[in-house]
């Protein structure tokens, strides 16, 4: 299996300004993310930046990068431009690793890419893990996913999913008739589909849930889902997240 990892990195962030360049144990965050990706089986790891300062930081630490437009509405659009710049063939597999995931498990990157090899009818793949905390199940900031018999996504939602009509009081989520899964924001694409994605009309479901992957399902395409038992370490969205990751790295051998 051969695949590339592309890391979209945008300098502007409302909650954490200059997030890709935030210091993590002496290295910019985006460099830490790239180094994690390099521990996977990827044939190439590239940062797709929206600002020359990110490109310079990558160059200083031997990380391949390219400069993309600043006006992309989403990471998928930035990924599509990066694929065009790299000359990716339509059947190539490209993993989208967010630039704020410095602790992403390289084995999970491999597993996400492998899903497209195992599901030739799917244009995308992603990952999920079992959810056991009711607070997370009810939290609209935690995205849930339900699957079909072949492990393909049926729907993603911010609402509790699946609804458990006959649940008894305090009954554990692990006893639900269907798996309760939390979606992990890691994606792999076939490059040919990725080039088409920005031209697809946004769907009403996507706009209601504010979940871009629902556009794929709305237009009749299939998404394969790898289920891992081990929840990944969280990414960096806030200053508190940044301190948590710094502490994690400081304690790691």
Residue-wise pLDDT tens digits, 101-139: 999 999 999 999 999 989 999 999 999 999 989 999 999
Give the whole-number percent of the chain exceeding pLDDT 90. 77
- pLDDT score for 77: 85
More confident residue, 91 or 16: 91
Q: 183 pLDDT band (50/70/90 cuts)?
A: very high
Burial class (CB in 10 A: 0-12, 13-18, 19+), 62: exposed
- pLDDT score for 192: 94
- pLDDT score for 35: 96
One CATH from 2.10.69.10, 3.40.50.10490, 3.90.550.10, 3.20.20.70 for 3-245: 3.90.550.10
Q: Are 138 and 127 in contact (CB under 8 A)?
A: no
Q: Which residues pair with 4 in a beta bridge?
A: 44, 94
Helix (H) or strand (E) holding 175: none
**Domain range annotation of the chain:** 3-245
Helix (H) or strand (E) holding 78: helix 75-86
Q: Which residues of 152-169 are buried (b: 16+ CB within 10 A; e: fewer)?
A: bbebbbeebbbebeeeee
- pLDDT score for 233: 87
């Amino acid at each position: 299996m051969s695949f590339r990892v592309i890391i979209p990195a945008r300098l502007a962030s409302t909650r954490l300004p200059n997030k890709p360049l935030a210091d993590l144990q002496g290295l910019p965050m985006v460099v830490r993310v790239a180094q994690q990706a390099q521990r996977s089986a990827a044939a190439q790891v590239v940062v797709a930046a929206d600002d020359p300062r990110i490109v310079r930081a990558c160059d200083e630490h031997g990380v391949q990068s390219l400069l993309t437009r600043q006006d992309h509405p989403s990471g998928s659009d930035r990924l599509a431009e990066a694929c065009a710049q790299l000359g990716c063939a339509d059947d190539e597999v490209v993993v989208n690793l967010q630039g704020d995931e410095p602790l992403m498990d390289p084995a999970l990157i491999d597993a996400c890419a492998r899903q497209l090899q195992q599901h030739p009818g799917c244009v995308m793949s992603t990952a999920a893990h079992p959810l056991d905390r009711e607070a997370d199940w009810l939290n609209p900031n935690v995205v849930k996913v339900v699957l079909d018999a072949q492990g393909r996504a049926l729907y993603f939602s911010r609402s509790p999913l699946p609804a458990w009509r006959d649940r008894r009081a305090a009954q554990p989520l692990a006893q639900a008739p269907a798996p309760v899964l939390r979606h992990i924001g890691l994606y792999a694409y076939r490059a040919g589909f990725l080039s088409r994605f920005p031209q697809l009309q946004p769907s009403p479901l996507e706009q209601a849930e504010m979940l871009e992957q629902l556009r794929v399902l709305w237009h009749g395409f299939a998404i394969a889902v790898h289920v891992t038992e081990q929840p990944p370490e969280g990414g960096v969205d806030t200053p508190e997240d940044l301190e948590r990751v710094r502490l994690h790295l400081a304690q790691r051998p």
